[in-house]
Structure 1
Amino acid sequence: MVEPVDAWWRRRQWSRGQQVPYAVGQFRADWASYPVLIRQYHPDRNHGVVLTQVPPAAEVLLTWECDVGHLFVATPAEQRSRPGRERRRSVWCPECAVQASPQRWPVLPSDWPAAVPVPQRVVRTTGRQTLPAAPARGVPAGAVASSRAGGRRPAAGAPRRTAPAAPRTICPKTPRLPSGESFTSVCAPAPASAVEAELRAALSERFAFTEGHSAIRLDRPFFDHVEVWPDILLPELRVAIEYDSTGRHGLEHVGARQDTDRRKDRAVRAVGWEVVRIRTGRLPAIGPYDLEVSGISGRTLARLADTLREIRGALFVDAYAR
């Protein structure tokens, strides 16, 4: 099973019974023929684990940075299987490989009207690179392309040609912190519910946890960030609390949005945190510690405190009680 580098390192410490399961330089010979990967790997982005401490066959997710500055996550096997070595450095970065694909320009017909301008380049910017975007088809200005006019229809059963997806951009405002660290994010949205503020104030009256943190640093991107913004963070317990309701129109946290909640919870748990969702409006629990309640009350707060004790232990949680 593929896992983040910090979880993989802890598991190897436990299985081998050593604080340093693999010595620095143990796998130097295996990585020596991949100088591009040696340059793209940074221990400070991988919890201090040096590349020569990682077996080439390890199923572990490592963070890499190409020469242009694109950050991406890949396993050792994925990186070593990319072709090219020193011949083309772009092949060692998925985003650079997409941008380096040849651009096809349209061939203008011989009877192209002189008054109609030739399609111009459109520039797209991704990360630190600026490259020409794929040009539009040769359609005169003001005309609308039709699937019936011109071109040849694909044969029955033939796969459809789809345009390549635009390269993914990751917000650079997230600080370089170890994964699982909580911090105050400049990208975090403002609280959207007065109930969240009420719940946060009630927890502050009962426990002396660190306040003001709004984000958790992740191992891999979640949409366009490498951070997530739970409603309430308890850094000392490494527990995130979410308040879920169906909203004014009954569409919040249902359907596809509930799938996003599940994905967010998996990302938080992957960096060593636990999630407690307070689900109202008859929303079903989606996690092992979720609470199905009718609203925020003294009974809800008591259940939440008992859940925190169940997750982290009564002695540890009560040490922060006021």
Structure 2
Amino acid sequence: MAERVELWWARRQFSKGAEVPYPVGSYREAWSPFPALIRQYHPELNAGIALTQIPPAADVLLLWQCEAGHKFAATPDEQRHRPGRERRRSAWCPECTEAARPVRALPMRDVVTLPGSPVPAGPTRPEAPLDAAAASGAGVGTIANPVGRVVLRPRRPPRTVQLCPKTPDVPVGEAFLSECAPKPTSAVEAQLRSDLFARMPLTPGLNAVRVARPFFDHLEVWPDILLPELRVAVEYDSTGRHGLEHVGKREDADRRKDRALRAAKWEVVRIRTGRLAPLGPHDLQIAAWNRKALERLIDTLRDIRGPLLVDPYLA
């Protein structure tokens, strides 16, 4: 059971026999992928204990304050696994999330009154006749309302995936130029693309790979950079301005994309920044994109496809 931070800290002092069981900065790397939580944590609200002194897996109850001024208690694990983990900052505060959630109006449904059932007083509407299929319960569901009537309503049909028709009919694993691909917005990604193609003059301009299974209603995925001659996709990942990119559900989508590419006989290299942990066997962790990072990427391409295939493309 989670305990207050003062009691948790006193117990750690006793068990470790030290006045400061965890020095400041002990868990800086573990908290660095969550800048939104760093902004919400205030040592003065937690007995003067810094966030980097608290293990992310500690079962301790901390006091947080969001940018709107809401104070709430939560454990580190609860904060790191808030439902949604979406771009909006309200996803990190329970009160802001509740206020931002729109109230959905319930749809009006036609009600069929069974013969002989009591009808409550008030405005009435003509009864719909029951055919043989409805009377036998085929294709309908029954519920009981507060006045004891049994009403029938159609069951919801199963959701069908509407695939985008703009994907060309090319073989699985084929790279092509897609009009559905999002436009790149990262300046670092543009610099990475420019440096890589200056060093390896491969086929430029392709931005999609045909896959076998649907990926968000498309039969294509859109890696950041495609090296079609090597069948390698390069992704540039950072936590973004608010620290919500490539974490939580977005990280799950990255893993799903990688699986789709590997099933299409492609390999993926993710360049991970902002203390993001690697997702695949060939991912690179870097502090910034520079000449040294470019050489590491080329060495990784050699490990994947072999120097006999990679070196002839080097300029």
TM-score range, shorter chain: 0.5 to 0.7
CA distance in 2, matches of 1:254, 1:294: 18
The question of 1:220 aligning with 2:213 is answered yes
Give the equivalent residue in structure 2 for 1:243: 236
Contact 2:210 2:221 in 1 (8 A): yes
State the Cα distance separating 1:238 from its structure 2 match.
0.2
CA distance in 2, matches of 1:294, 1:166: 43
The question of 1:257 aligning with 2:250 is answered yes
> 1:228-239, aligned counterparts within 5 Å?
228-239=221-232
TM-score for both structures, normalised by structure 1:
0.53
State the Cα distance separating 1:149 from its structure 2 match.
3.7
The question of 1:184 aligning with 2:184 is answered no
> 1:1-322, aligned counterparts within 5 Å?
106-108=111-113, 149=146, 163-322=156-315
CA distance in 1, matches of 2:218, 2:281: 26
TM-score for both structures, normalised by structure 2:
0.54
Describe the shift of the 1:258–1:150 C-alpha distance in structure 2 as closer, same or farther (beyond 3 A).
farther
Name the count of aligned residue pairs.
189
Look up the SS of the partner of 1:241 in the other structure.
strand
Look up the SS of the partner of 1:220 in the other structure.
coil
Describe the shift of the 1:148–1:107 C-alpha distance in structure 2 as closer, same or farther (beyond 3 A).
closer
CA distance in 2, matches of 1:249, 1:151: 52
State the Cα distance separating 1:282 from its structure 2 match.
0.1
Structure 1: runs of 5 or more not aligned: 1-103, 120-133, 139-146, 154-161
Structure ranking higher on relative contact order (CA contacts 8 Å, 6+ apart): 2
For 1:107, the aligned partner's letter is: V
State the Cα distance separating 1:209 from its structure 2 match.
0.5
Structure 2: runs of 5 or more not aligned: 1-108, 129-138
Root-mean-square deviation over aligned CA pairs: 3.2
For residues 105-148 of structure 1, the C-alpha deviation after alignment (integer angstroms, 9 at most, x for no partner) is: 741478697786999xxxxxxxxxxxxxx99x99xxxxxxxx98
Describe the shift of the 1:116–1:284 C-alpha distance in structure 2 as closer, same or farther (beyond 3 A).
same
Give the equivalent residue in structure 1 for 2:45: none
CA distance in 2, matches of 1:170, 1:260: 18
State the Cα distance separating 1:194 from its structure 2 match.
1.2
For residues 208-227 of structure 1, the C-alpha deviation after alignment (integer angstroms, 9 at most, x for no partner) is: 11000000000111120000
State the Cα distance separating 1:256 from its structure 2 match.
1.6
CA distance in 2, matches of 1:272, 1:165: 32
CA distance in 2, matches of 1:212, 1:118: 62
For 2:257, the aligned partner's letter is: K
CA distance in 1, matches of 2:227, 2:236: 14
